[in-house]
Structures are given as structure tokens and as C-alpha cells.
Structure 1
Amino acid sequence: MSFQFSPNARNAALDAIEAAIGAAPKLQLRSGALPANTGAADAGNLLVEIALPSDWLETAATGIKTIKGTWTGTGAAAAAGGTNAGHFRIKNTAGTTTHVQGTITITGAGGDMELDNPNIAQNQSVTVTTFTLTAGGA
């Protein structure tokens, strides 16, 4: 049997995730396949690194947290003339500990994170259009 949680419990769990990761974490958009877990070494090339705002997710409501503010960065040298972003990693402010990772797609394609253009070139502006944390146990 699976557990069910109240909306208040789901919201509190999601808000605790943001608090545990901390203010102003780093978002890395990387090429290649998603690592096996958040403890695994970084994979692929770092295409974009974005310092997220100090309050980077909206307050949880109805078991969902979404991006707060604008998440925009610039393609790094490793992106060269154009490289597909395969996955993302959200790390602590120092960029040393991965707390969340997932897949990337273009807006509307259903990835864990969606970008305006996942084919990233050096000096290209990149914007995260969708990122949602959803609590289980509804």
C-alpha cells in the first residue's frame, strides 16, 4: 500500500527540499547522459552554469513548486558551435554537491526541465522555461 499525504505535508516536504539545497544554488546544464544518481561524478561537458536567485522556487502550493524569477545563462566555451543539453544538475552554492538532477528537453517536450533551446552554442543566451517539483503521495 502506498502512503497518502495531506496537501500541507506535501507542501512542507517540497519547501524543505529547497531549504536543504540552500539559497542561490548553481544550475548546471550538461551534455550527454544523466549520471546514475546524484552522488555520481559529473558527466558530459558543462554547457551553461547559472547562479540561481537566492529564493529560486515559488512557495509550494497543492504539492507543486515551480521556478521563481528568470533562470537565464550563457553558453560556455565547451558548447562550441552547438551541443545538445542532455541533463541538468542543481548543486549547492559552492557547486560541490549535487542535490537534484534530471533530463532536459525543449519547451513542451516533457523533460524534467525544459529550455527555450536545448542546442546550446558558446555565448548563446539560454532560458529555463519549465521546472517543477511535484510531491508524491496525493
Structure 2
Amino acid sequence: MAIKYDTTTRNAMLDALNTRIGTSAKVRIYNGTRPANVGTAITSQTMLVELTGNATAFAAAASGGVLTANAISNGTAAATGTASWCRVFQSNGTTAIADADVATSGSDLNLNNTSIATGQTVSVTSFTITDGNG
């Protein structure tokens, strides 16, 4: 992308995203290949676990082009697989807002373990959304 934004604009865009996500966001973690975009239907990927964000899912304001999630409740895995990406939904669970990569470190959403087994407790260690167009 050739367009670059100043930090104030990047923060404003992330704050607008935060407003759209709203309270108690649902984060569904999947295996398989991440779809081309958030509007693409999930087909062969399996939802491994659904997690619920805090009543205020993300910090009140982005800083430095980064929006940081508040606490996300642990979840119990519904299926077995290797977590590779997630989809963030509004609290209604039907309005998809964003897709993100998943790993144990250095990713958008970091878990305690990406090898997930049915019945396992899944914990988020960090989740940030970064606008890299600075």
C-alpha cells in the first residue's frame, strides 16, 4: 500500500474500529488457511475455540498506531487442531469485523499454545491490532 498516515490518523482509524467492535467481542480461533478477507465465508476451517473479550474489549484509545485488547476470558476448546488465525465478531456473534493471525509470539493474537485439543483451556497472552501504514 502506497498511502501512509500520520500517527494521529492511524490512532483515529483504530479507535473507529474499536467502536465498531464494541463490548464483549467474540474471538473465534480456527485452524487452516485464513480466508482472503473478513467477508469470505469460512469453509474447510474448523473453529477450535470461542473466547469472549472484556466488557470493554480493547483499550479506550489506540496509541502509536496500535490498539491493545483488554483481558480476554479463557475458553474451552470445542475441537482439536493447530490454531492459525482468528475472526473477531461483535458481541452478537454474527457481525464479523476483522481477521487476524494467531501464534504463540510475534503475532496479532498470541496464545499460550497453538496445538489445541478438545476440552483444553485456551488462554490469550496478548492481542493487538496494528495499523502499519505509518
The TM-score range, normalised by the shorter chain, is: 0.7 to 0.9
* Bigger radius of gyration: 1
Q: Which residue of 2 aligns with 1:56?
A: 57
The one-letter amino acid of 1:105's match is A
Matches of 2:17 and 2:83 in 1, distance apart?
A: 25
Equivalences for 1:92-111 in 2 at 5 Å? 92-106=90-104, 108=105, 110-111=106-107
The one-letter amino acid of 1:53's match is N
How far has the Cα of 1:47 moved from its partner? 0.8
Distance 1:84 1:19, change over 3 A: same
Distance 1:90 1:2, change over 3 A: same
Gaps of 5+ in 1: none
Q: Which residue of 1 aligns with 2:75?
A: 73
Equivalences for 1:1-138 in 2 at 5 Å? 2-43=2-43, 44-58=45-59, 59-76=61-78, 78-79=79-80, 83-106=81-104, 108=105, 110-138=106-134
Identity, % of aligned pairs? 34
Matches of 1:136 and 1:8 in 2, distance apart?
A: 13
CA RMSD between the two structures:
1.9
- 4+ residue segments displaced more than 3 Å: 1-6
Matches of 2:22 and 2:72 in 1, distance apart?
A: 18
Give the TM-score taking structure 1 as reference length. 0.84
Gaps of 5+ in 2: none
How far has the Cα of 1:2 moved from its partner? 4.2
The count of residues paired between Structure 1 and Structure 2 equals 132
